[in-house]
């Protein structure tokens, strides 16, 4: 604690010292805030662990012009933990792809909805896709919620596909018509569920993403409804612009 009992010169020196300390603390706080803003507001800071992976390479990719573009790669040598920072302007669907070396497993690519800030991905080498756990992204949470219900539609589709294949051997016309009708009803249910899910979550980029990736050929009225439910920021996002362009193209051709 400073005591102001000395002469005027001493007091001035003490005040200068106090001001210097305040200035240093202020600069430190500004620097810390700027660093945190840069880390959480501009880039994707991705950490993770692939249990059982001792040697290989991990690629972070995105789709651009219908091709996979590598954003970064991580060499794994002994330590299965990984960490990487990816420039990310807005939430976007990315892919974490595993190069297992000599293995030809098709279970190598993991789709995830990336967001600015900190995200974490953990999985296992033997069950890379099914064992994956992804945290740090609200869009990813919604994507997983959608997929958990959508998988039921996919299961029903597989059952109907098996019935269609078996019926092709017997060539039973009545069964064929019944199976085709079941396919049509399943598609309608799936499309309506997806459209409702997207409309309900218009404040997140997952909404226009699902519209253009899952139900692009749905009745245009549904796409209009989804677009009307988008918040201004989401409407201006990458997938919001894609949806807008898709709707314009559809309307121009119909």
**Residue 148, number of CB atoms within 10 A of its CB:** 9
The whole-model pTM stands at 0.79
Question: For residue range 96-113, what is the model confidence (pLDDT) as tens digits?
Answer: 999 876 555 557 889 999
As a whole number, mean pLDDT of residues 159-187 equals 90
Q: Are 115 and 143 in contact (CB under 8 A)?
A: no
Q: Are 138 and 115 in contact (CB under 8 A)?
A: yes
What are the DSSP E strand ranges found in the chain?
Answer: 43-51, 55-64, 67-77, 81-87, 92-99, 109-114, 117-124, 133-135
CA 168 to chain centre: 40
As a whole number, mean pLDDT of residues 171-190 equals 91
pLDDT of residue 22: 58
């Amino acid at each position: 604690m400073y005591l102001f009992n000395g002469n005027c010169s001493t007091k001035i020196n003490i005040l200068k010292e106090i001001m210097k300390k305040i200035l240093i603390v202020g600069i430190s706080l500004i620097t810390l805030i700027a660093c945190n803003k840069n880390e959480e507001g501009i880039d994707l800071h991705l950490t993770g662990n692939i249990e059982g992976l001792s040697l290989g390479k991990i690629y972070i990719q995105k789709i651009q012009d219908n091709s996979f573009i590598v954003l970064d790669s991580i060499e794994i040598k002994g330590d299965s933990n990984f960490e990487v920072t990816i420039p990310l302007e807005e939430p976007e669907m990315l892919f974490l792809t595993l190069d297992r070396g000599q293995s030809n497993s098709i279970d190598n690519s993991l789709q995830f909805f990336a967001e600015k800030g900190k995200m974490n991905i953990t999985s296992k080498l033997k069950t890379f896709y099914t064992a994956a756990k992804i945290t740090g992204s609200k869009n990813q949470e919604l994507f997983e919620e959608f997929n958990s219900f959508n998988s039921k539609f996919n299961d029903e589709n597989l059952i109907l596909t098996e019935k269609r294949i078996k019926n092709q051997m017997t060539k039973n016309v009545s069964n064929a018509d019944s199976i085709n009708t079941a396919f049509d009803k399943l598609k309608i249910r799936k499309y309506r569920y997806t459209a409702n899910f997207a409309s309900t979550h218009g404040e997140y980029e997952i909404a226009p993403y699902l519209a253009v990736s899952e139900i692009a050929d749905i009745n245009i009225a549904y796409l209009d409804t989804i677009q009307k439910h988008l918040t201004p920021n989401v409407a201006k996002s990458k997938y919001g612009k894609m949806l807008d362009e898709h709707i314009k193209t559809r309307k121009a051709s119909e």
